[in-house]
Amino acid sequence: MALPHTPDSNPIDYIDEEDFIALEIPHEVDGERLDKVLASALPDYSRNRLKSWVEAGAVTVDGKVTKARHLLRGGESIKVFPQEMPEQFDFAPENIALDVVYEDDTIMVINKPAGLVVHPAAGNWTGTLLNGLLFRYPELKQLPRAGIVHRLDKDTSGLMVVARTDIAQTSLVRQLQERTVGRRYLAWVWGDAPSQGKVLASVGRDQRDRLKMAAGSAQGKPAATLFRRLAKGMFSASPVALLECRLETGRTHQIRVHLESLGFPLLGDPVYRKKTPGVAKSLPFERQALHAYALSLQHPATQEIMTWFCLPPDDLKLLLPQVGMSEDDLPKEAALLASIKNDQH
């Protein structure tokens, strides 16, 4: 079983997901065993599995590897590095239609539809992008995660890049680490958002709800999101804004968490809903209104800077007139390319 790692120590890994679960142990557990406390704090994992992670060195207490029977005194900081489960070692190829925007012998760029899970996990072992990739290119089984280097949430649509060789995968991950991959999103939010802004707030697991992320978490990782307003609209007297968001980092749920922290939750978001107006219940849109519409990177083989542009899918286009906007408010490819070129200088 693999030892804990960070993105810098293992170049073949996801960049935009948290690498560990952080726990702050209350003083009330003084004298209790580590494995018992972990089982209580992380009910999604069996006690035997947690114990095996401790024994494999994938759990640290105040930065040190210890034993499952270690007695806690309370007040410690624990990091748990989830290890792959046996079910994850042999994924089945599945004939899943993929919207391929670009492909060559080195990389492919996919326009992921909303509803498609990127990587198998508990509750979604089949029907994922990874299963579809293995069907299209069986040789991707030789690459970690079938060449996937970053992910989009299940109900976020848009552009993703996938590596087809180990050299390309290493190159793409390093570009992500160095923050040279350009990722731009369109986000429809509730509220009267300013013309532009930047959010600097760590993102980490919500200690009160393990299924959510939280901004400003003491145990989170640094995260930065830039945004600019493209259009303003209205739904039943509640203001709506269309934002272009640019990622400087790529944490789990980053845009959704950051914008909610400013008081601008995404339309349709089922999880991050603080300051969502009551009229949202009458808006027929049931996923977070988020689309990864532009992607730019250095091609791993040719070293050429390449950019891809993808307008939102039909459900988001149909949303526009409902919130007082039109397709004229969407970014134009020529303006995007000029903006990216300007950023590179």
Q: Tokens 């989170």, residue?
A: 220
Q: Name the strand (E) or helix (H) holding 325.
A: none
Close Cβ partners of 236 (under 8 Å, ≥ 6 residues apart) = 279, 282
Beta strands at 157-163 and 182-190: parallel, antiparallel or unpaired:
unpaired
Closest among 146, 144, 143, 142 to 129, alpha carbons compared? 146
Residue 49 is which amino acid? R
Distance CA 98, CA 75 (A): 48
Beta strands at 182-190 and 290-298: parallel, antiparallel or unpaired:
antiparallel
Instruction: Map residue 278 onto helix, strand or coil.
Output: helix
Backbone angles phi and psi of 43, in degrees to 5: -65, -15
Alpha carbon 82 to chain centroid distance? 17
Distance CA 251, CA 15 (A): 8
Closest among 232, 283, 288, 296 to 258, alpha carbons compared? 288
Closest among 299, 62, 41 to 165, alpha carbons compared? 299
Backbone angles phi and psi of 277, in degrees to 5: -70, 155
Q: Is 90 a catalytic residue?
A: no
Asked whether 234 and 240 are in contact (CB, 8 A), the reply is yes
Q: Which of the residues 13, 16, 35, 153 is marked catalytic?
A: 153
Asked whether 205 and 21 are in contact (CB, 8 A), the reply is yes
SS (H, E, C) 217-253: CCCCECCEEEEEEEEEEEECCEEEEEEEEEECCCCCC
- And the tokens for 54? 């401790």
The catalytic residue positions are 153
